[in-house]
Amino acid sequence: MSGLVAGARDRLEIVAADVIHGVWEQVTRMGAIRAGTRRGARFAHLGESSFICFPPTALMNERHISIGHHTLIGSHVTLSAGMALGQDLDAISPVVTIGDRCMIGKGSGIVGHLSIQIGDDVWTGHHVYITDQNHGYDDLTRPISQQAQPERPVRIGSGSWLGHGTVVLPGSVIGSHVAVGAGSVVNGELPDYSVCAGAPARPVRQWVDGEWVRL
């Protein structure tokens, strides 16, 4: 008898698992944020055939975020403009701009306060973090959390790729067609048509006069 009960329980769990996964697939599909949806209308622009996968981790001040056409934003992504809900950023809006045909990997964070510009055809791996604001550390008598938070614009050129876990810090300029290795920390300028890696990231190869040159 115990074997029959255990078998029935196993079959019930299999059916329940199928139902749960089926429902979650429907929730994931229907919960995506697209142009034409009420949530999509919160953005400064959300282009045709672009969507943000469900669930996002956090979306803040979407009216200062512009996303181009045919762009995919992975699930569990943070997209944020400013530091507080409803913050008036009209003078510098859009704060975050993501171009056409981009793909932002799962678990990534793009947190802008002044200007983050991401060109067309930029792809990232998972868990990439991009910000234009850092913490000041000038006054040793005060906690870092109470000090100034300087902002410097960030720009990522079209056709570039940022590997898994890349961190892009304020003031960074990544050129066009740049490949940034996984786990790199970008804190400066990376030239066009280069392969870069490290912390801080530095060019290791660059396309010069029709051939790759090791640096």
Where along the chain do its domains lie?
A: 1-31, 35-214
Q: What is the pLDDT of residue 12?
A: 86
Helix (H, G, I), strand (E, B), or coil: what is residue 19? helix
Per-residue confidence of the chain (215 residues) as pLDDT tens digits? 566 666 678 788 888 889 899 999 999 999 999 999 999 999 999 999 999 999 999 999 999 999 999 999 999 999 999 988 999 899 899 999 999 999 999 999 999 999 999 999 999 999 999 999 998 888 999 999 898 889 999 999 999 999 999 999 999 999 999 999 999 999 999 999 999 999 999 999 999 988 999 98
| 8 Å CB contact between 181 and 197 | yes
Measure CA of the first residue to CA of the last residue in the chain; give whole Å. 73
CATH number assigned to the domain covering 35-214: 2.160.10.10
Q: What is the pLDDT of residue 10?
A: 79
- What are the backbone angles phi and psi of residue 86, rounded to the nearest 5°? 80, 10
Pairing of the two strands 51-52 and 96-98? unpaired
Q: What is the pLDDT of residue 92?
A: 93
- What are the backbone angles phi and psi of residue 66, rounded to the nearest 5°? -120, 130
Taking the C-alpha atoms of residue 29 and residue 129, their distance in angstroms, rounded to an integer, is: 25
Q: What is the pLDDT of residue 11?
A: 84
> Any residues with CB less than 8 A from the CB of 62 and at least 6 apart, and which?
42, 43, 44, 79, 81
| 8 Å CB contact between 54 and 75 | yes
Closest CA to 55 of 89, 35, 79: 79
Taking the C-alpha atoms of residue 44 and residue 62, their distance in angstroms, rounded to an integer, is: 7
Q: What is the pLDDT of residue 6?
A: 63
